[in-house]
Structure 1
Amino acid sequence: MVERKRLTASDWTAAALDALGRGGLAAVAVEPIAARLGTTKGSFYWHFSNRDALLEAALLRWERVHTEEIIALVDTDPDPHSRLRHLMTLTLAPTTTADRPGHRVLLALQASASHPLVAPVFARVTQRRLDYVTGLFTASGFPPEEARRRSLLAYTAYLGHTNLADASPELVPVGAEQRDYVDAVVATLTRR
């Protein structure tokens, strides 16, 4: 008899987030995720009351890992300009959405942004990201209104890049060209 590994709620949540990125909301289904994890639905019900609870946990994980942890990482840089460059490098670096699971999830969530469980998390994450980038521009000496406009421009550059990397990855710069691209984006965003 083969002993199965005892799965945690975190295992299920990670698998749900992966499924979300691969196939959208419809892919967050208990039986296929259980099969991928090599377990039964009984394991799922040990940790979650229903699919919505799993989806909520996956959305919170996405928020934590792909927003809060990125911000914490970027905040280790010494000055606002370095933080902005680091952030843009992280967000504009992938050549395909397969390179960045968080980008795949973002695309899936954009397509489902009106879903009652997705909408509040998606809005909160978007606002948090915009507020953070606005703070970087403010700390760099831009007036609040200008900092906000520049944060919107930076965020739309990220969203556009993510969509381009998904639809036409061959058009996304790589290697030295990618570094030059990030430099150009940061120079444009910070030009006075």
Structure 2
Amino acid sequence: MTAEAPDKTSGWRGSRELWLAAAKQALVETGLDAVKIQLLATRLNIARTSFYWFFKDRQALLDALLEHWDAKNTGAFLDAADAYAETITEAILNLIVVFHDDTLFEPQLDFAIRSWAHQSDAVMSRVNSADDARLQAIRRIFERFCYDPPEADVRARTVYLTQIGYISMQVQEEPSVRVMRVPGYVKTFCGENPTTNELDRFYARLGVPPATARPKPSKG
């Protein structure tokens, strides 16, 4: 996610994507106060005036950041909810992939946007709308597999609020440990155990050798 300072001539203006990447990096690393035109220009080693070729003003950049976050992070939930699955356990595994793959969903960006929301009613409203959309998407998964609406709602909240808890608490957990817990999470979320084949496909999507991901049998 790092926006490297480009080695260009002094007349180079950068690009919209470069300014947006630098803004995202600054927001995640430092917070909203770091997302300022001069600070970003210094970070990129580009003239401040170059910014205005791509954005009207700072607010336009902030709006673009919100659009990027919503399209990527909320979009990941919507795509996972609509992905093909023959069983509820396979559908839940499709969703859990999102939690483990930073190329699909950026937890640090989600945390930064939620922190920003505490300073802006408009951003808080946007976050609330995103949360509603994500919950509705997860709820549809359960309803698709014939869970009654009240149960689908509670299970969807269990899935989603668990993930938001990981983000809000900034949980530091070894990836191997978290992956090993996946079968237990699936059982907790939907009440059924995933099959070995379903888990193997899940591990393959994450590039994890199945033998190292499966929970170790307890002794005694």
TM-score computed with the length of structure 2 as normaliser: 0.72
Tell me if structure 2 keeps the 8 A contact 1:150–1:189.
Answer: yes
CA distance in 1, matches of 2:104, 2:79: 18
Residue of structure 2 equivalent to 1:113: 117
The answer for the alignment partner of 2:133 in structure 1 is 128
For residues 159 and 123 of structure 1, the distance between their equivalents in structure 2, rounded to whole angstroms, comes to: 13
Matches within 5 A, 1:17-166: 17-72=24-79, 75-79=82-86, 80-91=88-99, 93=100, 102-114=106-118, 115-164=120-169, 166=170
Alpha carbons 1:21, 1:101 under 8 Å: kept = no
Higher deviation after alignment, 49-58 or 68-77: 68-77
The residue identity in structure 2 corresponding to 1:103 is: P
1:13 aligns with 2:20: yes
Report the CA distance shift for 1:69/1:157 in structure 2 as closer, same or farther (over 3 A): closer
Per-residue CA deviations over 1:58-114 (Å, capped at 9, x if unaligned) read: 0100111122145325634434532321222331x37xx9x9982112222222324
* Distance in structure 2 (CA, Å) of the matches to 1:42 and 1:103: 32
- C-alpha change, 1:4 and 1:102, in structure 2 (3 Å) is farther
The answer to whether the Cα contact below 8 Å between 1:138 and 1:147 also exists between their aligned partners in 2 is: yes
Q: Is the 8 A contact 1:13 1:54 kept in 2?
A: yes
Match of 1:185 in 2: 185
TM-score (norm 1): 0.81
Looking at secondary structure, tell me which structure has more helix per residue. Answer: 1
Please list the CA deviations of residues 22-56 of structure 1 after superposition, one character each: whole Å capped at 9, or x if unmatched: 12211211112122222121111122222111111
Change (3 A) 1:74 1:39: farther
Q: Decide which moves more: 3-12 or 146-155.
A: 3-12
Q: 1:100 to 1:31 in 2, by over 3 A?
A: farther
Deviation, 1:11, is 2.3
The CA deviation at 1:159 is 1.2
Superposed displacement of residue 154, structure 1: 0.8
Identical amino acids, percent of aligned pairs? 24
* Residue number in structure 1 paired with 2:205: none
* Whole-angstrom distance in 2 between the partners of 1:74 and 1:39: 41
- Unaligned 5+ runs, structure 1: none
- Answer yes or no: is the 8 Å Cα contact 1:56–1:117 preserved in 2: no
CA distance in 2, matches of 1:134, 1:152: 8
RMSD of equivalent CA atoms: 2.6
Contact 1:81 1:136 in 2 (8 A): no
Q: Which has the larger radius of gyration?
A: 2
